[in-house]
Structure 1
């Protein structure tokens, strides 16, 4: 057994490299420094001196690698199982197998024969999923401590007892699901670009020469025996790492792991495919066209893998060049010269190699050749000069801040379990993140310069993606026949074979939610402050919320709120846009603007030792926007480009068409929030300052705070920043929802022609009489968990898991302060559009008439909602959002603690009544975005009026 805890001194020297490489958080102890009144940023060393991830590691006799990290902050445990196999390990003719098995391993095992999402919901799991990339396959879930034994039983059953449950029917179905996953990605603007990048940069025969989704032909040709052999060769315990992070000790964990994983036999060990970093012999240029709003020019180079020292230098260099808000490309191309609407730079790091990219999206009307020339000049200048010490410092501080913010999470996509597992599987050391930190600790500006010079001067790919009719190789994935037979005896059998009976363990006692106490106070000018304490990490989150949102936009000025909010963060009366970006980076502060339909919010995430200057910066953004004319035009151009891109993206096209139909053309809810090209083009500076005076004012504000520090220590900073703020003389803004209610809409299909779409995007909806503030909304939400609210809901299980026509379907109430609509979103393969819409209509009709909530659904849904409550509020960000929702919907501060009793009182009858009162299946309007030539004949069979539109 190994017992490791990284020293504070090592981390103090080097933490900043971690997030730049892995974006994965570690645990943190509370620094001694508190929210002092100093306006100077705390030193990097003081911010990170207490950070560590102590763990114990042991190995079972069968080779299973086990890592345990203890974190007692909440009664939950993150469970992560990583298999040492990814797409780079697939031989020719078996591409896509790792990803296919990611799907199959959720489809039931010998002793858990249902869908794994069913069992995860029964135990109240949160943050659960599985992913596949070039280098590994992983599964993860965060479960209540009392359900940990059940989770280990479940994970061990699919590791050791899966193949008896893999039937031909499941294999065929999941091939169909994967095909629709591919279609869904390919259908997006620019969806074919990554195939081109891999094709050019990676030679045939190289382990990275194909994407993880693989070849549809390879999947279709796979026999049942080939698939089973793939599993036998790659998913044994000695090819896996199990990480437990959370409310568990190594002494508690070991007997449970031995009990459930110990009996599983060893298998072959996958030796990850070795691969050199390929290099082009000469520069390559490709031009692709697609439904994009502006021309993008990006350079790509191959780069070293994750264990190469140059990687950290390249990450930092890319951040300074095009990743920071104050990056060199941003400052030159976007802010100063205004010839680009966005820039980018980054390094996609894999185990054996990576792909480095630097790019810019040309401002419409600007010659892309001009943008490309300036891009090359700035890259060349950066290589010649190297970064400054300040640039490296700002990049490091921003990285540290991002890392610390993630430290609360034990599981999920980027929690502590992932940090340890990724280091162990990809680098052979759970402490790999510390190695990266040590590399950064000794990294100099000269080393960054040298690494960029070494790798960015090699031959590379220039890919220009421009508006136009789609180009690039697209191979349609053929549908798998439901009765497909590979010829093997018994291969079409759908009978599950149980090789060893393993009964599921009972749950131990499960903790109930203890939502943080909320304290309410007011500043001297009357602004209400809602405060809760969370002390797992030294982070303070502050949200200043205003009763505005996109619903505050006049019908003739749609997009005004969105444009205004974006400009608040682009320069104040005392700081330019660039100076503001640099100030945030030096503090490690993140200030985001937004809030949605009903509220406009400015949210600060600050390192608590830097709280005072961070709050001062937030106040400057909120109270003193400059609305500089040059910045207005720059942000307007970016906004318009974003609108034009949304008008080419299937989901956005559908939303823009449906909202005014459901809510009414003149409703405050009729717009997506971004407005139209015409409305945004007509907004003046007077409109922007008028919005500020009517809506962003102290008598229209509430402040929400979640911090590791007591309220008494935070109040002086809040008072100093906002307490003397006085309202302007003009009247507060008002919203008019008179046109939203009691509407009569003609049920129909609106078909929007988007030629050459491999999928159709179906988006249907109607306005309900439900209200988000009503107690009965909980019944409607839980009724919908049976119909459309999650993976196991009927709509998804039918079109994805039974039919294989979609990668995923969701439906549910859209809660807004003054109205609740019910919508269904279903991307489906083009040749099944009519059939899919018929199924959606049938399912909804049956649900609100003859096939309401079943007893099994009620039991599963209620148990899941109760048991997942503690895990839902693991982070301070989740607590902050909950506090804001309580204020928005006029709920008591302890609302979430009351939900368990509400759920327990629910019955089939109460859920059915809520659904039937809200959802009239005959009143839906269905928007279909797809290739009209293929889709229209299918829709004509449904008997609904069809309104055909062309894309704008």
Structure 2
């Protein structure tokens, strides 16, 4: 099991029922299983990795405009969507001293509108139905991407070309100041996480002064603060010309159409200066560096890192393979030795991050609380020295290769995924087929090559950083507000008139795959949809259980039982189970939402039969060995301690009982991790009983999306699960009969000292259930709370600049559903932020409801984006599972467009006003009480201060 600390995204996913989240692998056992592991089962047979490599192909064509813009086109007619991905050959490594953070700043500025679209880029793109819409900045590049319906392609190309060639007239002083504030809050949000300051220390010590990779992409807030408008504009002029970019169109498009459209919209943009990516040597430390930091963390983390060659070096693949063997695979040497055998670490990892000019090889070990850090360091030295001296085995190398190729195949299902692969190859290597070279390297790499690469690069002095629990050392935080220095006047931009933005053509309604059903010989229902885009099969064996199945005196039992299910099953140990998955290129995950528990499999279809056999063992024949129970129990207790250091987890533990009451099945932590007292008391017999009660065929449904026809899938499922019979014990039941307690406005402040940011996490239980028709209220709440352009995010992020992002979500549980506001804000604006949120809710639910423009934008976005929202087999599988959970018809997704188009502003307003009542919101605030409490006490709401529990 690879232990994961709880993130905000994971917590929200736990609330969303379609995706199991908590456990990354675990094991239970049937009633007849013994407490010791049986004889090891025979290895399963996998297809050769070369067969998998042969299946990976992305045909492309390339042309270049007269202004230097490189264009790649990949045709994929599976759905009426096109991915538009543009990669600029500029990243943080290209920033000169005094201008750090500029590339990242422009990632934000380029979403703020352009000369011929003076509003928000996101506002237009949301209306055209864009999905996968975002931008990112890293050391080597800045990229922007979206997947749009084919009839919206011209609009999208107009928008992308307008911000490439006609941006600066829209970048005035107010826009610059606002986005600097947003970037500051992004930095606070990152810094506020446990271990959030390590990267700064790592880069400053790995690289000498003046090295291009020495500063993080987030940059220096002081540099951003000091920059004048003209300096910022000149950075754009120097780096964002068409000759410094790669545009990829992937999907329902051909080269001839692409040539016409790209020339129409981009052809008139003049060339800019040529940016030659900064050269960067691979430095070697003169001697080992040992640093000790302190942070408000639950356990000591050991980090070791070296600078190594970049992605175009022939050492990159052997180093990455070595990293996977050391600490990347679930069966890695560090996992097997430190986590499973010695049990001195609760989590380990190793990775080789290969960038354009160089890479960073990094090892992380989270020491078991109270453990001997020096002893773990010494043991780490031994394990690493052995791998360097003797190299890996052929079998280890083959498992890494198969796992890597399997992930590559899965990543090519989205047209945007293929666009990214092609763009990266062109930008960094001048070859869109670079991925083929990399796949061939993985398929042919030898143990000797891995040994030699590790010996050459990891025998050099390392940077050793130890982060110990304690009070954080002082560091330079982002300023409370931009400096306020008098702006320097900038030259007026001469705008260039363009033809009007093209209108979006008629977007056809979604054609959802036909849903078919079958039953196994024992009666388990199979719900199936076919997807032939990639040779991958996804299976979810789902059970009516979830975190809500926990008894009040055994919170965390369900998730711990799931965690144990792949820690020994079917005659295999945890390490052997991990090895089998890697050998097959398969991934088995166990986890739960509040309402359902599931065992999920993703497999290359070539290896489906043996992968299903492995899944069957994990589900039906977990071992629950005494030693594994004790080890996982100790890891869970360590994870609970870590949750108490994470703002999102602290809030997710505190809010549910305040909303539902502790007696409700929903009145427990959204993380599902339980309590230390409950976990300590769980033994093997109780976990075995938990499995027999909930993980059984009479509570199961199997959901499948595959490129194989249903008959073939059903036959293989019958072999794996058809003879499974329920145990003699009674199946579990859940009761939601207890009334939800009435709530009134109040604030619970949880003191987390030294927090540069506060997390506001509040809401109410709505008078609705997940099985109600929520389409109308969800559409209304898109305007109010969920969209990037929602009222609350537009106010706190885009107008006030107090947050990196705010959301208000209707979390569709099966029974009573909560409305939850999630607002990380800068600490000195906490009280004002709650006031601003309340003002927005009261205004919207009062007289300022949905406007006609908001209605049009939301209807267009929610209908035009459907094809992109159900593009992948994972998305299809999620839809099958949600429809079953909420009692929806099989054709539910196909009804969304027509039903949404029929909505009126009056219906949206009425639905929101009937359900949401901000006077009933209970607010949990996680932040530094010394800074925050005086702000909250002026709001007129009762304030209770608590310690972290």
Say whether the fold is shared (TM-score over 0.5): yes
In the alignment, structure 1 residue 395 sits paired with structure 2 residue 400:
yes
Q: Secondary structure at the match of 1:942?
A: coil
Q: Which position in structure 1 is the counterpart of 2:749? A: 751
| Count of aligned residue pairs for this structure pair | 905
C-alpha distance in structure 2 between counterparts of 1:788 and 1:52, whole Å = 41
Q: Which position in structure 1 is the counterpart of 2:142? A: 137
C-alpha distance in structure 2 between counterparts of 1:420 and 1:346, whole Å = 23
In the alignment, structure 1 residue 732 sits paired with structure 2 residue 735:
no
CA-to-aligned-CA distance 1:402-453 (integer Å, 9 cap, x gap)? 1111121111xxx010001111111222122222233334422111101000
Change beyond 3 A, Cα 1:151–1:868: same
Q: Which position in structure 2 is the counterpart of 1:889? A: 886
CA-to-aligned-CA distance 1:330-367 (integer Å, 9 cap, x gap)? 11111112111111110122111111112311112321
C-alpha distance in structure 2 between counterparts of 1:73 and 1:273, whole Å = 40
Q: Which position in structure 2 is the counterpart of 1:445? A: 447
Conservation of the 8 A alpha-carbon contact between 1:110 and 1:497: no
Q: Which position in structure 2 is the counterpart of 1:356? A: 361
Q: Secondary structure at the match of 1:555?
A: coil
CA drift of 1:551 comes to: 0.4
Q: Which position in structure 1 is the counterpart of 2:689? A: 690
Conservation of the 8 A alpha-carbon contact between 1:541 and 1:877: yes
CA drift of 1:51 comes to: 2.2
C-alpha distance in structure 2 between counterparts of 1:586 and 1:219, whole Å = 48
Q: Secondary structure at the match of 1:365?
A: coil
CA drift of 1:150 comes to: 0.7
Aligned counterpart for 1:630 among listed residues 627, 631, 639:
627
CA drift of 1:50 comes to: 3.1
CA drift of 1:502 comes to: 3.1
Aligned counterpart for 1:88 among listed residues 85, 93, 106:
93
CA-to-aligned-CA distance 1:20-60 (integer Å, 9 cap, x gap)? xxxxxxxxxxxxxxxxxx96211222222232111111100
C-alpha distance in structure 2 between counterparts of 1:397 and 1:676, whole Å = 38
Q: Secondary structure at the match of 1:667?
A: coil
CA-to-aligned-CA distance 1:652-705 (integer Å, 9 cap, x gap)? 111211110001111111222111112111112121111111111111100011
C-alpha distance in structure 1 between counterparts of 2:714 and 2:744, whole Å = 54
Conservation of the 8 A alpha-carbon contact between 2:137 and 2:143: yes
Q: Secondary structure at the match of 2:308?
A: strand
Decide which moves more: 294-303 or 130-139: 294-303
Q: Secondary structure at the match of 1:408?
A: coil
Q: Which position in structure 1 is the counterpart of 2:841? A: 844
Q: Secondary structure at the match of 2:553?
A: helix
Conservation of the 8 A alpha-carbon contact between 1:41 and 1:586: yes
Q: Secondary structure at the match of 1:278?
A: coil
Conservation of the 8 A alpha-carbon contact between 2:53 and 2:439: no
1:278-293 → structure 2 map (5 Å cutoff): 278-293=283-298
C-alpha distance in structure 2 between counterparts of 1:913 and 1:678, whole Å = 45
CA drift of 1:771 comes to: 1.8
Q: Which position in structure 2 is the counterpart of 1:272? A: 277
Aligned counterpart for 1:465 among listed residues 457, 464, 467:
467
Q: Secondary structure at the match of 2:936?
A: helix
C-alpha distance in structure 1 between counterparts of 2:92 and 2:856, whole Å = 39
In the alignment, structure 1 residue 909 sits paired with structure 2 residue 911:
no
Conservation of the 8 A alpha-carbon contact between 1:299 and 1:461: yes
Decide which moves more: 927-936 or 42-51: 42-51
Conservation of the 8 A alpha-carbon contact between 2:230 and 2:490: no
C-alpha distance in structure 1 between counterparts of 2:613 and 2:573, whole Å = 16
Q: Secondary structure at the match of 1:524?
A: coil
Change beyond 3 A, Cα 1:146–1:246: same
CA drift of 1:497 comes to: 6.6
Decide which moves more: 437-446 or 750-759: 437-446
CA-to-aligned-CA distance 1:893-952 (integer Å, 9 cap, x gap)? 110101111101111111111111111111111111111111111111111111011223
Structure 2: state its 5+ residue gaps: 1-42
Aligned counterpart for 1:647 among listed residues 632, 644, 656:
644
Aligned counterpart for 2:65 among listed residues 60, 64, 77:
60
Conservation of the 8 A alpha-carbon contact between 1:39 and 1:612: no
C-alpha distance in structure 2 between counterparts of 1:288 and 1:630, whole Å = 34
Q: Which position in structure 2 is the counterpart of 1:797? A: 794
Q: Which position in structure 2 is the counterpart of 1:487? A: 488
Q: Which position in structure 1 is the counterpart of 2:832? A: 835
Q: Which position in structure 1 is the counterpart of 2:479? A: 477
Change beyond 3 A, Cα 1:497–1:848: farther
Aligned counterpart for 1:159 among listed residues 152, 156, 164:
164
Conservation of the 8 A alpha-carbon contact between 2:68 and 2:271: yes
Aligned counterpart for 2:429 among listed residues 427, 430, 433:
427
C-alpha distance in structure 2 between counterparts of 1:192 and 1:721, whole Å = 48
Decide which moves more: 45-54 or 76-85: 45-54
CA drift of 1:475 comes to: 2.9
1:633-712 → structure 2 map (5 Å cutoff): 633-671=630-668, 672=670, 673-712=672-711
Q: Which position in structure 2 is the counterpart of 1:786? A: 783
Conservation of the 8 A alpha-carbon contact between 1:192 and 1:474: no
C-alpha distance in structure 1 between counterparts of 2:153 and 2:379, whole Å = 56
Question: Normalising by structure 1, what TM-score?
Answer: 0.94
Q: Which position in structure 2 is the counterpart of 1:5? A: none
Conservation of the 8 A alpha-carbon contact between 2:318 and 2:445: yes
Structure 1 residue ranges (4+ consecutive) displaced by more than 6 angstroms after TM superposition: none
C-alpha distance in structure 2 between counterparts of 1:743 and 1:464, whole Å = 46
Question: Normalising by structure 2, what TM-score?
Answer: 0.94
Conservation of the 8 A alpha-carbon contact between 1:359 and 1:375: no
Aligned counterpart for 1:74 among listed residues 75, 79, 103:
79
In the alignment, structure 1 residue 585 sits paired with structure 2 residue 582:
yes
Structure 1: state its 5+ residue gaps: 1-37
In the alignment, structure 1 residue 772 sits paired with structure 2 residue 774:
no
In the alignment, structure 1 residue 616 sits paired with structure 2 residue 618:
no
RMSD: 1.3
Q: Which position in structure 2 is the counterpart of 1:918? A: 915
Conservation of the 8 A alpha-carbon contact between 1:111 and 1:502: no
Conservation of the 8 A alpha-carbon contact between 2:405 and 2:439: no
Aligned counterpart for 2:338 among listed residues 321, 327, 333:
333
CA drift of 1:472 comes to: 5.8
Q: Secondary structure at the match of 1:393?
A: helix
Aligned counterpart for 2:48 among listed residues 31, 43, 46:
43
Q: Secondary structure at the match of 2:768?
A: coil
Q: Which position in structure 1 is the counterpart of 2:177? A: 172
Q: Which position in structure 2 is the counterpart of 1:865? A: 862
Conservation of the 8 A alpha-carbon contact between 1:765 and 1:924: yes
C-alpha distance in structure 2 between counterparts of 1:287 and 1:556, whole Å = 40
